[in-house]
Amino acid sequence: MEKTSLKNPLLLFLTAVIWGVAFVAQSVGMDYVGPFTFNFVRCLLGAASLVPCIWFLDWSKRRSAGDTGKKLPEKADAETGQVCTRDTALQTARKYAAGQSGAKHAAAQTAGEHAAGRSGAKYAAGQPAASQTTAGRIGRTPGRKSDRTLLAGGISCGVALFAASNLQQFGIQYTTVGKAGFITALYIVLVPILGIFLKKKVGARVWVSVALAVAGLYLLCITEAFAIGTGDLLVLLCALVFSVHILVIDYFSPKVDGVRMSCIQFFVCGLLSGVGMLLTETPDLHEILRAWMPIGYAGVFSCGVAYTLQIIGQKGTDPTVASLILSLESVVSVLAGWLLLGQALSAKEMTGCVLMFAAILLAQLPQKRRMDET
């Protein structure tokens, strides 16, 4: 296998590692600051870290246009227009994101795909929302209408990301990093289910994924008293909101430049978190500075760096392959929690993780197209 054929998968795997470890950063950050304060600072850092990314992408497009002496291909923007929020979104997002709640969680190559912010900010759980040619053409349309659509998309995604990321941040105080990573990744399964309300068809494969996910969730979260922990419940609500966030991204991303929309959503999420911080917490600059490492990692690396790596890695890579690699983020979160925080899972919880990961993979496999759809 040539080096060039390994480059993109390795970049996507590195993205998944960054997003998985971001769950540890979120957990450690709670030792210094409150959830709203953490997300206020990290999201503003994430938005600022995307500014150089926007400049670089614009520069590369101008350079490409200059080298060919022709106008930019209409599908160029579509390659970056699908935002993951990994925070991502990915999310972007996947999910993301989550640990990617910025980046992961923020971008979507397909309907269920997350930075990042990241994080999301989030993975493939459906088919592309629109053709790349249409997305690229609309994404570069000048004028007030395009600007209004970009602003509306950024604000809508930012509000959804604010709700999801803070639910996750509050929940991660009461549960382990590994459990939070796997429960958050449920949005990959939830997205096609929510698509029913948008009159999208759901195949038998998705329902099997749901059954596996429910069984895994039971083993992972339900105690002997048949109760779910506060942290697990908050992260489960976070996964549900991230699913809504992905559907919002799926609606706007074909119409606007995805990286710019992601940057706006991080600013909106950060500002709303700032309001929550002032109303319910007592921000302390000294404590924020003490938490510079987890906040900086979650803001700069999980949002800006991982999001950029995802954009580069997904170019020329099959969307299904890309989403499967990025879904390893949930596995990395378990390993990171164990290695860095000593948070080991029981045999029952590990079995739940295996079932949920199987559900995640099954939900991302491509469906066979009928003859009349080709």
pLDDT score of 99 more than 70: no
pLDDT at residue 6, as a whole number: 79
**Highest-confidence segment of 128-132, 241-245, 310-314, 367-371:** 241-245
Query: What letter does residue 121 receive in the DSSP assignment?
Result: B
Sign of CA dihedral 144, 150, 151, 152: positive
> From CA 126, how far away is CA 247, in angstroms rounded?
11
Contact 370, 226 (CB under 8 A): no
What's the average model confidence in pLDDT over 301-311?
82
Q: Is the pLDDT of residue 267 over 80?
A: yes
Give the chain's mean pLDDT: 76
Q: Which amino acid is at 355?
A: L
Structure-token pair, residue 130: 């629109």
pLDDT computed for residue 157 by the predictor: 92
Quote the tokens at residue 213.
């996910």
- Rounded CA-CA distance 367/374 in Å is 13
Tens digits of per-residue pLDDT, 275-299?
999 999 999 999 999 999 999 999 9
* Residue 85: Cβ within 10 Å count: 52
Task: Identify the residue whose tokens are 């994404």.
Answer: 139
Tens digit of pLDDT for each residue in 218-257? 888 877 666 788 999 999 999 999 889 888 888 888 888 8
Are 157 and 249 a contacting pair, CB within 8 Å? Answer: yes
pLDDT band at 4 (very low <50, low <70, confident <90, very high): very low
Is the model's pLDDT at 38 over the cut of 90? yes
Residue 68, burial from CB neighbour count under 10 angstroms (0-12, 13-18, 19+): exposed
Alpha helices in the chain, H assignment, sequence order: 3-29, 35-68, 78-81, 98-101, 132-139, 144-171, 177-184, 187-194, 204-221, 230-252, 258-280, 285-290, 292-296, 306-314, 319-326, 329-341, 347-364
Sequence-separated (6 or more) residues with CB below 8 Å from residue 209 = 189, 359, 360, 362, 363
Structure token pair of residue 7: 């480059």
- The mean per-residue pLDDT over the stretch 320-327 comes to 77
Residue 317 banded pLDDT, cuts 50, 70, 90: confident
Each domain of the chain, given as residue ranges in start order, spans: 37-67+74-365
pLDDT at 104: 45
Q: pLDDT, tens digit, for every residue of 333-364? A: 988 998 898 888 888 889 988 998 888 888 77
